[in-house]
Amino acid sequence: MKDILLMYARYTQRANLAVIALLDALSPEARSENRKSWYGSLLGLVLHIVGGAQYFQGMFKAVLPAVARILATAERVTLPDDKALSPSDWTVVRNACVVADQATVDLVAGLSEAELASPIPLDWYEGHPDSVPLCFLLHQLYVHGIHHRGQASQILDEMGIEHDFSGIDVEFLPKKA
């Protein structure tokens, strides 16, 4: 299981970097324009993706002391508000994404199979169950990012911006020549 979770952590890292690179090429106005999505703008989606990673990481570190050490760098990154971001604020968002994704890769790489099964308390399902294995929440983190990158993909399509989010880049697939 650890190998698959690490593969998806690395995939998430590559996919988020691809989104960030596309958004780097846009003007601050284009990144912040309300696109009628739940999170408003492309910037709002990126902030939500990064904020989601930070949220999940917070759940993990509360349970496993080793996780707290791995995630210490990521938790020091504070995201700016999505209103009228300056170029330096965009740099903070971009860097926060890089730091959060690297923290997830480092986290999964450093955990044992037993730690991946560690119960993480939650209150999502009206207390039933009151906890789930850490590996389940890692899956949720990856699905969360995939879902919102899909929303970014739709917006980029509508803007006429060429990108390739049509498939999942996973390590066990043959490389394109």
Beta-bridged to residue 119, according to DSSP, are 133
* Residue 96 is assigned to a structural domain of this protein: yes
* Residue 137 is assigned to a structural domain of this protein: yes
What CATH number has the domain bearing residue 116?
Answer: 1.20.120.450
Cβ neighbours, 10 Å, residue 87:
7
* Residue 39 is assigned to a structural domain of this protein: yes
* Residue 169 is assigned to a structural domain of this protein: no
* Residue 81 is assigned to a structural domain of this protein: yes
DSSP H helices in the chain:
2-24, 28-32, 42-61, 65-70, 72-75, 87-110, 113-116, 134-159
The reported pTM is 0.87
Query: Average pLDDT over the chain, rounded to whole?
Result: 85
* Residue 172 is assigned to a structural domain of this protein: no
Domain count, the chain: 1
Residue 75: pLDDT above 80?
no
* Residue 148 is assigned to a structural domain of this protein: yes
* Residue 55 is assigned to a structural domain of this protein: yes
Residue 63 pLDDT class (50, 70, 90 cuts)? confident
Nearest to 41 by CA among 4, 84, 3, 71: 84
What are the pLDDT digits (tens) for 26-61? 998 899 899 988 888 899 899 899 989 988 888 887
Which residues form the domain of 42? 2-159
